[in-house]
Structures are given as structure tokens and as C-alpha cells.
A and B are shown apart, each in its own frame.
Chain A
Amino acid sequence: MKTYKTIRTALRALSRNPMRATLTTLGIIIGVASVIVMIEIGKGSATAIQRTILNMGANNLLIHPGTAASGGVSFGAGSVMTLTPKDCEAILRECPAVRHAVPEVQARTQVIYGNQNWVPMQINGTTPAYLDVRGWTPLAMGEMFSDLDVRNASKVCVLGQTVVRELFGGETPVGKEVRINNVSFRVLGVLSPKGANMMGRDQDDIILAPWTTIKYRVTGSPLTDVNQSSAASDTSSAVNTLSKLYPNEKLVLYPEPSAAQAANTPLPVRFTNVDHILASAVSDAEIPLAIQQITRLLRERHRILPNQPDDFNIRDMTEMTRTLASTSLLMTNLLLSVALISLVVGGVGIMNIMLVSVTERTREIGLRMAVGGRGRDILIHFLVEAIALCLAGGAVGILVGCTGSYLVTIILGWPTETSLPAIVLSVIVSASVGIIFGFYPAWKASRLDPIEALRYE
């Protein structure tokens, strides 16, 4: 009850000098407001930067098939065909840390339009989700092929900017037909420009098509091929035959194994294989989890015994992820230091005014002590004044800060993000600034000798 009275007295004392109270809180108002504006602008920019880096594929995971070795001679990564489209679907279905997963079938061959020809860096057979994995939406023109096109092995494709420039010059490519390895493809759309990747490779030099079409009609790897290394020499010099224009029927090469056999032996090389699987994690933080989940799933699907090595490799973009993490860390630290500085300045302002106030009101303190105020009451009185100033400043600062960052978004068009932690933080900090910086003047006041305080001129 007594404390409550002291608090009320302190608030009344503040209202006796509204001008000074306002000016004192100004420091905190500016401090808190700038913290909020800085954090919100900073968070907005950090998110924008992170999104940009993510668009470069920082959360991408590339799953390669494993290594074939024969008689101690290794054929290098990707020399066995162990990944299937079914693996891709299973990853998408069973790994919660994976957002997208698409198969990739690659070809490198000539593309012809009219009297122009070009060999794109990449001819990728994939599914429509490829664009989501690479962060490549929206298209510059036209549309992406659909899942139905994938299922039907439709002869449709989407071209990258470089390919368009090389083949079409000024013409509109959408709706035209290009020939890839003598198979005619209708151009459905044009990708937006992406430029070179971090290694300097032109990412626009690309053609996307349904993987089924690329696999069965373009690379035409016949389903009888068992080993890619032997097939590779085959495709490079392969003469196009009419039979390759249509998907072959699936041949059964081996007798079906029994369930017990299947569980005990590694699956033989699958015939509908894909070159890679490209997956993207839900967020950059979930990449290790995604790798773990994919590894477990693929080992299970490929029936790899616990002591056997994986028949696949998963690669992440460690370099880019590290850049991402260090960028956001840098941003956070920068903002934190700015926030601290402005709040300390505001706090010192409060302490300054409170000290002046204690000196100026020495007689009042003396009187309050003479009429029965204990040192503790005086301490609480001045502490409450300081905290009330800080909290009021904090509240106004939040309003000003939120309005400020809103105006920044509207007028300057900078990205900002409302941040609840920033608001909570600034309230906590302004209250603690009040306590810390208000304590010294209040303590000084409470230690005054009433006799001298009453005589103070």
C-alpha cells in the first residue's frame, strides 16, 4: 500500500514538470524508435539478401549416383545408375525436411531451329517443380510444361535466354518447333535470365524438357543399357533410329527375386534411372536434417546393408550456406551494436536529467524525509520516476518506430519486416535502462541528510 502511494506520488511529481519529462523521454523515444526502425529495415534487407542467396540455390541438395568400380578401377562419381524417378518421388513424400525434389536427366547435343544450330551447355530432362527448386519462377514468356507432359513424354520444352538468342535472334520462340537430336520439340516458354552462376557458368544456356522425353527420345539410352560408361560412348556417336523416337517397352532382364532375396541383396542396377536428383531443403537451417533423412530413405530403398557404403552421394552448397549464415550473423551484430549505442545514449540522457532533478529538488527530498519518508521511499520514488519516463519513452518510441519503418517502406520502398522481438526487446531494454540509469540518482537522493537537504539553497 505504501509502495503504491509512493508510485502515485512519483507520477504526480513527474506531471508537475511535463516539459522536462517530455524532453527527458525524447532520448529514449529516439533510441527505441531507431532500434525498431533499424531492426525492421535490417530484418527486411536480411530477408531480401537471404532470398537472393536462396535463389542462387543455397538450400539445394544434389544427389548423385554412386561410384562403379571394377577390379580396383573406379569409374568416378555417377558411374552407376542407382537413382530412379521413384527415389525422387519417395524423397518428396517421406522426407519432411525436403521441400522439392526433381529428377534430372542430362543430354548434350545439337539443337536446330531453321538454319541456326547451337549446342546448349545443359539439356535437362526434369519435372515442372525444377523451377521451384532453382527459384526460377516466373518465366519470362509462355509457360512451363506440366506433369502430364512428363507422364506422356510430350515433345515440349522451355528455353533459356542464351539459347533463344542463339537460335531465334529477334523472333518470338514460343510456339515454334526446335529439333533436339532430330526430335522435334515445341517451345512452350522462355526462362527468365539468371546469368552466370558462382563458377562463371552461363545458367541461361539451358533447355528444360520433361525427363521422360529427354531420356527416352533424345539421349535414347536404350533400356538394355546396363552401365552408363558403356552407354556413354554409344550416345555420343549414336545414329538416330526411328525406334528411339518412341519409349521402349520395359524388358524384364532378370527373374523376379523372392521377397527374402530382395531384402538381402542390393537391387541390381535399375533400368529407369535418372542422372541426378535435385532437392531443396525447407530452409537453409534444415539442410543437415534433409541430408540425413534422404540418406536413410535411399539406403532403405536401395536395400543397402548397414556395413555397406552408400551407392549415392549427396552434395550441398556448403559455400553458399556459409555465406548465408555469415551474412545474417553480420546483419544481426551490426543492428545489435547500433541498438545498444542509441539506447545507452538515451539512458545516459535519463541519468543526466534525473541527477539534475535530484539536485534541484534537494529541498523537496529533505521535506519528504522530514515528514516521514524513509530512504527506501525516496529511492523508490525517484526510481519510479526514471522507470516511468523510460517506459513512456519506450511506448512512444515503439509507435514512432513502427510508423517510421512503415513510412520507409512506403516512401523509400525499402523492404521492412515487422519484428515482434524488436518491440519486446526495446520495451525490456528501456525498462532496464530506466532501472540502471535511474538507480544512481535515486540512490544519491535516498542518501541525502534531511537536515542539509532542508537547508539546501
Chain B
Amino acid sequence: MELIELQNICKTYHLGELEVPVLKGISLSVKQGELVALMGASGSGKSTLMNILGCLDHPTSGRYWLEGREVSGLSADERAFLRNRTIGFVFQNFNLLPRTSALDNVMIPLCYTSEELTDHEARERAVSLLTRVGLAGRFHHEPSQLSGGQQQRVAIARALINMPTMLLADEPTGNLDTHTSAEVMRLFQELNRDDGITILIVTHNPEVARYAGRVIGISDGVLAEGEPLQHAQNSVS
């Protein structure tokens, strides 16, 4: 099943009189359960594409189906709802709330969920997710007391709290050393394999892209799709 279907997506920014086309007609489809790396140099438009995929922004033209539903024309509130239920975000700089425990950080998206969860259920879910990402016993640590890798794991747990169908990771290893990066990427692979979560990773690092089942290159606002990097798959398994 096609989870994501992009058809001729264009995005143009207006800087005063100047029109800056960033995405120039991108068509793309991602199946349920894929682990895709979106690669490109900085300025290639990958972040813009990511924002559109994450329903943070809408395209200037073109159509976008998410789970078979046209979403390019949704209102801001509808997109917020979609982000809350369908998409999990992982950021380069983690974006955890300071002076807030790991547990509370993980539970932030639940504030905006209409689903009725008791405090107890919410807590249990957060505890099991933190355990899942390997942070059992660090529930009450604040971000400043956690290492970069641990912080990113908290962020991943937070992205998973509403059981999204897709994870969007924007340079998830950008602030991490090689060793920790590998750990985080392996975690992504596990989540993809065991839970069938579709994961899109935006990166400019080929090392990271090796973990992906499929690499989509983007350069200058157009796609340059490449083959899955087989040897990375082998090195992990």
C-alpha cells in the first residue's frame, strides 16, 4: 500500500519581488513499512520536502496523498490533528523541554490528543516506550542529565507515543558522534522491522543513508532516486 504519494509537488518562496523555486515538481511514493533515506546537500530542498511531508507546510502546487487521503489542501487545525495522530517527528537538536523529566517529555503530544487516556494509561505507555528505546531507569532524568544519544532516544519515544504510522527524522544523527549515531540508526531499523513503522530520514550523511532500505536523492529541487545500498544492510545484519 502506498503510504505517501507525491504528485508534481512544487514549492516557491517569495523573498520580496524575488521568486525562489525550492522544489520543482517532485513525484514520489513511499510504501507502508519502508525505511527511506532522503539525501541531498544543504540547499537542495530536502528540508522543505520534509516539512511538506510532515504536514508542517503546504506545497505551492501539486498534490499529496497521505494514507490515501489528499492532504495538501487541509486547514492548519486539520494538519495539526494529522501531525498528532499519524506522524512522529525526530529533530536534529532533539527539542526536548528543559527542566522536564524524560517521562513528561515523552507525554507532551498526549496533551493535544483528543483520545481519552487516564493519567495512569498515559504514564504506562510512556514507560513502555522509554523501556523500548533502552532508557529503563532513566524516567525521571532531565535532558541536561542525559547524553546526546539518550536525549535522541527520548525524542524517538516521544515521536512514538501516539502510535504514528510514519516517523520523520530530520538529521537525527546530526548532533551525535559516530558510535551513538550507529546506535540510533539501529534503533530506527528495529522499529521499522519489528513494528512496521514507515520511517523517513533526511540526511546529508551517506553513512546514515546506508541503514535505509531505499535512498532518494534530491538535488536542486528535483529527485534523483538511487538503489538501496546493499552493503550497509549487510553490515547491520
Taking Cβ atoms with an 8 Å cutoff, the residues of A that contact B are: 1-2, 5-6, 8-9, 12, 16-17, 363-364, 366-377, 450-451, 454
Residues of A within 8 A of B162 (CB): 372
- Bound: A370/B81 CA distance, A: 10
- Nearest-neighbor residue (CB-CB) of B104 within chain A: A12
Question: Given that A371-B84, A371-B158, A372-B85 are known contacts, is A2 also in contact with B112, CB under 8 Å in the complex?
Answer: yes
Tell whether B64 is near chain A: CB-to-CB under 8 Å. no
Whether B56 contacts A370 by the Cβ 8 Å rule is yes
Residues of B within 8 A of A454 (CB): 91, 95
- Nearest-neighbor residue (CB-CB) of B78 within chain A: A374
Interface digits, B154-172 against A, CB 8 Å rule (1 contact, 0 not)? Answer: 0000100010000000000
Whether A368 contacts B108 by the Cβ 8 Å rule is yes
- Bound: A369/B112 CA distance, A: 9
B39 CB, nearest partner CB in chain A, Å: 20
Whether B76 contacts A6 by the Cβ 8 Å rule is no
**By CB atoms of chain B within 10 A, which of A9, A370, A374 has the most?**
A370
Tell whether B98 is near chain A: CB-to-CB under 8 Å. yes
Residue from A6, A364, A366 within 8 A of B111 (CB atoms):
A6
Whether A16 contacts B111 by the Cβ 8 Å rule is no
Residue from B85, B89, B98 within 8 A of A370 (CB atoms):
B89
- Bound: A372/B99 CA distance, A: 22
A41 CB, nearest partner CB in chain B, Å: 42
A15 CB, nearest partner CB in chain B, Å: 9
Residue from B51, B85, B97, B114 within 8 A of A2 (CB atoms):
B114
- Bound: A16/B54 CA distance, A: 29
- Bound: A8/B122 CA distance, A: 14
Interface digits, B83-115 against A, CB 8 Å rule (1 contact, 0 not)? Answer: 111000101010101111000100011111110
Question: Given that A12-B104, A450-B56, A454-B91 are known contacts, is A371 also in contact with B109, CB under 8 Å in the complex?
Answer: yes
Question: Given that A16-B99, A363-B95 are known contacts, is A373 also in contact with B80, CB under 8 Å in the complex?
Answer: yes
A8 CB, nearest partner CB in chain B, Å: 8
A377 CB, nearest partner CB in chain B, Å: 6
Whether A451 contacts B51 by the Cβ 8 Å rule is yes
A20 CB, nearest partner CB in chain B, Å: 11
Whether B54 contacts A367 by the Cβ 8 Å rule is no
Taking Cβ atoms with an 8 Å cutoff, the residues of B that contact A are: 51, 54, 56-57, 76-77, 80-81, 83-85, 89, 91, 93, 95, 97-100, 104, 108-114, 116, 158, 162
Chain A to chain B contacts (Cβ below 8 Å), 22 pairs: A1-B116, A8-B111, A12-B104, A17-B99, A364-B97, A367-B97, A368-B111, A368-B112, A369-B80, A370-B56, A370-B83, A370-B95, A371-B83, A371-B109, A371-B158, A372-B81, A372-B84, A372-B85, A372-B112, A375-B76, A454-B91, A454-B95
B32 CB, nearest partner CB in chain A, Å: 21
Whether A370 contacts B111 by the Cβ 8 Å rule is no
Whether B80 contacts A1 by the Cβ 8 Å rule is no
3 cross-chain pairs, A with B, having the tightest CB-CB distances, nearest first: A372-B84, A371-B109, A372-B112
- Nearest-neighbor residue (CB-CB) of A13 within chain B: B97
- Bound: A368/B95 CA distance, A: 10
B14 CB, nearest partner CB in chain A, Å: 14
- Bound: A451/B113 CA distance, A: 21
- Bound: A170/B77 CA distance, A: 93
- Bound: A361/B44 CA distance, A: 29
Q: Given A2-B114, A374-B112, 14 more contacts at CB 8 Å? A: A1-B114, A5-B111, A12-B100, A12-B104, A16-B97, A363-B93, A371-B108, A371-B158, A372-B85, A372-B109, A372-B113, A373-B80, A373-B112, A451-B57
- Nearest-neighbor residue (CB-CB) of B50 within chain A: A451
Residue from B56, B89, B111 within 8 A of A373 (CB atoms):
B111
A94 CB, nearest partner CB in chain B, Å: 69
- Bound: A162/B3 CA distance, A: 107
Whether A374 contacts B76 by the Cβ 8 Å rule is yes
B74 CB, nearest partner CB in chain A, Å: 12
- Bound: A369/B2 CA distance, A: 26
- Nearest-neighbor residue (CB-CB) of B155 within chain A: A367
Residues of A within 8 A of B111 (CB): 2, 5-6, 8-9, 368, 373, 377
